[in-house]
């Protein structure tokens, strides 16, 4: 696992927050699921540092963009997990973040490939 | 979630992370990793949990207070682990902060606390400047005051007053009180109003005006029992009845110790006088005008007056002094010097503690490394060290305030008399605030600064070193701190040395008289219209009868009256004319101290006769007028000639000629540090020079045995002659002389104590540094000795290192002293600020202390057994 670490892309500041919000758009999930989901959908290209995932979750919760509740897992009724879900404020935030991201990537693209952009 | 308590949140987070680890481990197992290995892999993937939790807690953001509590707990635990260090640090801080608090209380009382007047910062005293006669601050003549007041552009108002002693009689013991006839605008100018009754009216302040008086708070309290009915009552002052029209508020004893105020009753002729100088003038600056501007304006004005009235005003300038400076006088400089000294002590203490903190930090490198590895952030470690310092400073500060409670009352004598009734040093909120500030600054100096390098290290490297062999980076800083301690101590020792030399010089100044065995007192005779002492004959009779009774007291050797005892009045001079001498040039005034004395006064004081004779009883009112001059006067006005038989007079045409019959030694008349002024004495039995201000008032009596024992008998002798005569200032002459040394002596003792304290702390600092270095270099020294180094070489090497630091500090301190000591200015007497002997002595003291402090660690180094030291690590 550690061998291909160099191939992975470090997440930009603030990007993790957006990815978490986007992941929760599909429904409530706990920390491990969120990490896995991000990793899988990017085909392992984006490695979520588990160490930074939890502070990010608590930060988002504190801002009111996500809410948490302890619930038993669907497969395993005996164990409770802390499930996070998107709040209304979180939904708005995600929209704002997405449009900001589009602008950013567009701008970067115009710099990198000016001909195509024009 | 927000309402959850800390513990719930923590367990919540723990559970969440636990679940994560479980899931991760399960996934690892599914991927084919072994059971035991999977859990480790999960942990590695999650990273440093302690750090992670710390990050999450940071997100919670509400733990600042709790972290502080935790820091304090850790800090306290850390301090408890090294009780020796803690005890030393607290004691050193308590001494340093306590001493600073005590001095602050005096600075606050004397220089900071507001004066009892409105906008006191704009109040000034205005003097005539007559430096050509030896009076840089001279009392202005009435006509000059009138012109100043009319023609200046800088003052919104100017008021004048004079001073006198009054006999307060009636019910109870006759009392001498200091009184001031003042112009009616004085109190409005100062911005104070009576707390009872009313102020004077302008109409009252004229020649022949009504006899009304304002009394001071203290007199009201002590003599009239704070009775509000005192207003309207009549009291006896100088055997005349005055109506009390009001009581002034507490703290208003203006100027100096004045307790009664009367209207200044000068007539038109008095106001026109430009040649007799006896007023004190106070003024309020117009808004926005600075003292410098006022000085410039007054100088121009004085120059104009000098052109206009060349006979009287040539060379007469004007001086403007802020009221605070006037009231505080030379105490201001002494106070700042003492304050600077005590500040240095605190700096030395801080440097020392900083060194100890560095040593501690180096010793705890491993502890910090472990904690850093366990996830404590760099900021957190820094904060913990800061907390420890803050704790030390807080405890030391509290103990310092405790010390201040005990020492502050001892400092009352540092408050000048002019302020003493208004403000006294005390332990109050201002002092507590100052200590808090000083403690915070100290904690920063000795705690946080040295903590910066300690917290930045690489934990892995420190763990591997295991606290061994590394002669920490802090050692160089510690060396520099030790050098600074030595340098500051040297400055303090030099200052203390200069003060000690000054006090020694002043207490060994040739006084010209013998104070031992003499007791003195003051009987100021009232000369008002109602007084029985209006005539010269009645005053003479009083002196002669009192002297007769005093001489009859068993044990009394001799007794004499004088205008002023030595050292009690820095003025009291008269202009004189010499028979046959050419008239003085304009602006040059022949002026000498003027004392009117009874026949035995000079003998009683033990003043040596150089030529001619003392006065005799036969020098009566009918006999030819005679005078005695001092050696300085003889030298100056009859250089190379014998003044005996020459004649002088104290006025121009109408005054009688007075023949010089004797020459006596110079005595310290105006102050211990003022010598060599011309002086003339006249017999009080002859009216030619015994009038007005120069009427004798002070009695000196030479006795056998302890002078203080004669106090009661002398009072009885005076009251046998006149039971209404107030008696003041009963004290041995030696005490009077000692009092003149008092504040310089206090300053000396304080700088001395501070120097000693700094020396001790610096010595401990040097000792600590060397002991530490030796302990850390045990192995190296062991190797050297195993290779054949002789113990004496080791001893010399360590001693040499200590000495090198001391010498470096001494050189630095000597340079600093050289630059700083001239600020001592007129605090010093008889010794130059760069006196090489004092500097050499101080350097010697520091080197000796340095050798003593280095010796023990050097011995310890020399005693290292190579075998043991090589095995021990």
Please answer yes or no on whether B19 and A51 come within 8 Å at the CB atom. no
Q: Which DSSP category does B166 fall into?
A: E
Please answer yes or no on whether A58 and B59 come within 8 Å at the CB atom. yes
Please answer yes or no on whether A58 and B56 come within 8 Å at the CB atom. yes
Domain enclosing residue B36, as ranges: 6-62
Please report the pLDDT score of residue A116 as a whole number.
57
Measured CA to CA, the distance from residue B116 to residue B215 in angstroms comes to 16
Please answer yes or no on whether B55 and A49 come within 8 Å at the CB atom. no
Q: What are phi and psi of B404, to 5 degrees?
A: -65, -40
Q: Could you please state the CATH topology (level 3) that the domain comprising A3-117 is classified under.
A: Arc Repressor Mutant, subunit A (1.10.10)
Average pLDDT, chain B: 86
Residue B730 lies in a domain: no
Please answer yes or no on whether A50 and B20 come within 8 Å at the CB atom. yes
Q: Whose CA is closest to B619, among B514, B693, B544? A: B544
Residue B115 lies in a domain: no
Please report the pLDDT score of residue B370 as a whole number.
72
Please report the pLDDT score of residue B466 as a whole number.
47
B50 contacts in chain A (CB < 8 Å):
none
- End-to-end Cα, chain B, rounded Å: 53
Residue B513 lies in a domain: no
- Give which of A58, A69, A71 to mutate to test B binding, by max B Cβ within 10 Å: A58
- Give me Rg for the CA atoms of chain A: 16
pLDDT tens-digit map of B25-84: 888 888 888 877 888 888 887 777 888 887 787 777 655 666 677 778 878 887 888 888
Looking at B328, B355, B388, the residue that finishes a domain is: B328
Q: B13 at the A interface (CB within 8 A)?
A: yes
A36 contacts in chain B (CB < 8 Å):
27
Q: Which residue of A has its CA nearest to B41?
A: A1
A62 contacts in chain B (CB < 8 Å):
59-61
Of the pLDDT bands very low, low, confident and very high (cuts 50, 70, 90), residue B597 is very high
pLDDT tens-digit map of B722-764: 988 889 889 999 999 988 888 788 888 888 988 998 898 888 8
Q: A61 at the B interface (CB within 8 A)?
A: yes
Q: Domain count for chain B, please give it.
A: 4
Are B277 and B140 in contact, with CB atoms under 8 Å apart?
yes
Residue B566 lies in a domain: yes
Residue B273 lies in a domain: yes
Please report the pLDDT score of residue B840 as a whole number.
94
Measured CA to CA, the distance from residue A26 to residue B529 in angstroms comes to 112
Q: B60 at the A interface (CB within 8 A)?
A: yes
Please answer yes or no on whether A50 and B1 come within 8 Å at the CB atom. no
- Give me Rg for the CA atoms of chain B: 37
Looking at B268, B298, B328, the residue that finishes a domain is: B328
Residues B439 and B476 in one domain: yes
A30 contacts in chain B (CB < 8 Å):
16, 19
Residue B85 lies in a domain: no
Q: Whose CA is closest to B795, among B864, B712, B866? A: B864
Chain A: give the shortest CA distance to residue B16, in Å: 6
Say whether pLDDT at A6 is over 60. Answer: no
Q: What are phi and psi of B501, to 5 degrees?
A: -60, -40
pLDDT tens-digit map of B188-244: 999 999 999 899 888 888 888 889 999 999 899 988 889 889 998 999 888 888 999
Region at B796 (left for phi over 0; alpha for psi -120 to 50; beta for the rest)? alpha
Of B460 and B387, more confident: B387
Say whether pLDDT at B157 is over 90. Answer: yes
Residues B308 and B442 in one domain: no
Nearest Cβ partner for B46 among A50, A59, A62: A50
Least confident span in B372-381, B401-410, B490-499, B694-703 = B372-381
Please report the pLDDT score of residue B460 as a whole number.
57
Q: Whose CA is closest to B107, among B495, B434, B441? A: B434
Residue B80 lies in a domain: no
Please report the pLDDT score of residue B740 as a whole number.
85
Please report the pLDDT score of residue B716 as a whole number.
92
Rounded to the nearest 5 percent, the helix, strand and coil shares of chain B are 55, 15, 30
Q: A44 at the B interface (CB within 8 A)?
A: no
User: Domain residue spans in chain A?
Assistant: 3-117
Strand partners, B660: B627
Looking at B328, B352, B376, the residue that finishes a domain is: B328
Q: Which residue of A has its CA nearest to B22?
A: A32
Locate tokens 């109506």: which residue? B243
Q: A50 at the B interface (CB within 8 A)?
A: yes
**ipTM given for this complex:** 0.82
Which of the residue ranges B412-421, B524-533, B571-580 has the most confident prediction, judged by mean pLDDT?
B571-580
Burial of B403 (0-12, 13-18, 19+ CB in 10 A): middle
Residues B245 and B273 in one domain: yes
Residues B271 and B130 in one domain: yes
Residues B281 and B132 in one domain: yes
Please answer yes or no on whether A30 and B19 come within 8 Å at the CB atom. yes
pLDDT tens-digit map of B791-800: 888 888 889 9
Residues B584 and B435 in one domain: no
Residues B490 and B551 in one domain: no
Please report the pLDDT score of residue B375 as a whole number.
61
Q: How far is CA B22 from CA A30, A36, B264, B360, B755, in A?
A: 13, 14, 100, 42, 68
Residue B519 lies in a domain: no
Please report the pLDDT score of residue B475 as a whole number.
73
Of B259 and B449, more confident: B259
Residues B637 and B653 in one domain: yes
Least confident span in A19-33, A81-95, B361-375 = B361-375
Of the pLDDT bands very low, low, confident and very high (cuts 50, 70, 90), residue B541 is very high
């Amino acid at each position: 696992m550690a061998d291909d670490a160099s191939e992975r892309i470090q997440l930009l500041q603030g990007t993790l927050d957006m990815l978490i919000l986007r992941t929760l758009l599909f429904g409530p999930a706990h920390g491990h699921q969120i990490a896995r989901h991000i990793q899988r959908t990017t085909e392992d290209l984006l490695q979520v540092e588990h160490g930074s995932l939890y502070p990010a979750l608590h930060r988002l919760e504190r801002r009111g963009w996500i809410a948490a509740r302890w619930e038993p897992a669907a497969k395993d009724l005996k164990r409770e997990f802390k499930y996070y879900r998107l709040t209304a404020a979180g939904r708005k935030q995600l929209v704002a973040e997405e449009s900001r991201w589009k602008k950013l990537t567009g701008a970067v693209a115009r710099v990198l490939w000016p001909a195509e952009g024009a | 979630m927000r309402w959850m308590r800390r513990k719930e949140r923590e367990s919540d987070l723990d559970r969440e992370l636990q679940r994560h680890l479980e899931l991760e481990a399960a996934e690892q197992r599914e991927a084919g990793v072994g059971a035991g290995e999977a859990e480790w892999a999960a942990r590695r993937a999650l990273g440093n949990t302690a750090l992670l939790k710390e990050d999450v807690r940071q997100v919670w953001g509400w733990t600042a207070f709790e972290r502080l509590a935790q820091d304090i707990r850790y800090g306290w635990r850390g301090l408890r682990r090294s009780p020796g260090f803690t005890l030393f640090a607290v004691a050193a801080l308590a001494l340093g902060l306590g001493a600073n608090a005590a001095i602050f209380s005096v600075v606050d009382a004397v220089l900071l606390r507001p004066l009892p007047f409105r906008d006191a910062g704009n109040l000034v005293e205005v003097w005539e400047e007559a430096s050509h006669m030896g009076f840089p601050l001279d009392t202005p003549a009435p006509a000059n005051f009138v012109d100043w007041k009319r023609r200046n552009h800088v003052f919104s108002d100017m008021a004048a007053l004079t001073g006198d002693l009054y006999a307060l009689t009636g019910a109870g013991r006759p009392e001498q009180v200091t009184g001031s006839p003042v112009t009616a605008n004085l109190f409005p100018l100062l911005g104070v109003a009576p707390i009872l009754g009313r102020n004077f009216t302008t109409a009252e302040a004229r020649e022949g005006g009504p006899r009304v008086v304002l009394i001071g708070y203290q007199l009201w309290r002590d003599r009239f029992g704070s009775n509000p009915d005192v207003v309207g009552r009549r009291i006896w002052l100088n055997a005349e009845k005055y109506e009390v029209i009001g009581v002034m508020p507490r703290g208003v004893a203006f100027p100096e110790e004045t307790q009664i105020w009367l209207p200044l009753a000068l007539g038109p002729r008095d106001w026109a006088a430009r040649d007799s100088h006896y007023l004190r003038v106070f003024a309020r600056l117009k808004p926005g005008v600075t003292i410098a501007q006022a000085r410039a304006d007054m100088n121009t004005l004085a120059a104009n007056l000098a052109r206009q009235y060349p006979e009287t005003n040539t060379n007469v300038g004007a001086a403007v002094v802020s009221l605070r400076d006037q009231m505080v006088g030379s105490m201001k400089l002494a106070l700042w010097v003492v304050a600077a000294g005590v500040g240095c002590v605190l700096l030395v203490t801080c440097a020392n503690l900083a060194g100890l903190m560095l040593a501690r930090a180096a010793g705890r490198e491993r502890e910090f490394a472990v904690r850093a590895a366990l996830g404590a952030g760099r900021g957190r470690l820094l904060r913990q060290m800061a907390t420890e310092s803050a704790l030390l400073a807080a405890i030391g500060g509290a103990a310092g305030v405790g010390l201040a409670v005990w020492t502050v009352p001892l400092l009352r004598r540092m408050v000048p008399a002019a302020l003493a009734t208004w403000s006294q040093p005390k332990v109050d909120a201002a002092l507590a605030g100052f200590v808090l500030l000083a403690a915070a600054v100290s904690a920063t100096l000795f705690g946080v600064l040295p903590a910066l390098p300690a917290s930045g290290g690489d934990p892995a490297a420190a763990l591997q070193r295991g606290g061994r062999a590394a002669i920490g980076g802090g050692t160089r800083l510690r060396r520099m701190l030790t050098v600074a301690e030595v340098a500051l101590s040297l400055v303090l020792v030099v200052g203390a040395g200069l003060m000690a030399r000054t006090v020694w010089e002043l207490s060994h100044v040739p006084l010209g008289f013998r104070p031992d065995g003499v007791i003195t007192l003051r009987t100021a005779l009232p000369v008002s219209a109602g007084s029985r002492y209006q005539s010269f004959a009645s005053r003479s009779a009083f002196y002669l009868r009192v002297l007769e009774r005093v001489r009859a007291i068993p044990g009394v050797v001799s007794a004499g009256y004088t205008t002023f005892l030595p050292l009690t009045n820095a003025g009291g001079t008269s202009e004189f004319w010499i028979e046959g001498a050419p008239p003085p040039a304009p602006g040059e005034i022949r002026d000498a101290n003027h004392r009117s004395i009874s026949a035995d006064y000079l003998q009683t004081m033990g003043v040596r006769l150089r030529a001619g004779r003392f006065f005799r009883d036969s020098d009566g009112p009918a006999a030819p007028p005679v005078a005695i001059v001092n050696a300085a006067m003889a030298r100056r006005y009859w250089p190379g000639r014998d003044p005996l038989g020459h004649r002088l007079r104290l006025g121009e045409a109408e005054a009688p000629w007075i023949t010089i019959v004797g020459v006596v030694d110079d005595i310290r008349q105006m102050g211990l540090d003022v010598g060599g002024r011309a002086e003339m004495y006249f017999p009080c039995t002859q009216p030619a020079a015994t009038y007005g201000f120069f009427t004798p008032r002070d009695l000196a009596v030479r006795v056998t045995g302890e002078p203080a024992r004669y106090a009661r008998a002398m009072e009885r002798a005076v009251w046998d002659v006149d039971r209404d005569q107030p008696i003041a200032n009963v004290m041995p002459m030696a005490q009077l002389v000692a009092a003149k040394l008092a504040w310089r002596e206090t300053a000396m003792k304080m700088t001395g104590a501070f120097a000693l304290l700094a020396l001790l702390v610096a010595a401990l600092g040097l000792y600590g540094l060397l002991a530490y270095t030796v302990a850390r270099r045990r192995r190296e020294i062991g190797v050297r000795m195993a290779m054949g180094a002789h113990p004496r070489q080791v001893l010399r090497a360590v001693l040499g290192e200590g000495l090198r630091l001391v010498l470096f500090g001494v050189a630095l301190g000597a340079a600093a002293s050289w630059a700083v000591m001239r600020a001592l200015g007129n605090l010093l007497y008889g010794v130059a600020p760069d006196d090489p002997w004092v500097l050499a002595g101080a350097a010697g003291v520091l080197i000796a202390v340095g050798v003593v402090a280095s010796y023990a660690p050097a011995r310890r180094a020399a005693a290292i057994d190579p075998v043991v030291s090589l095995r021990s690590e």
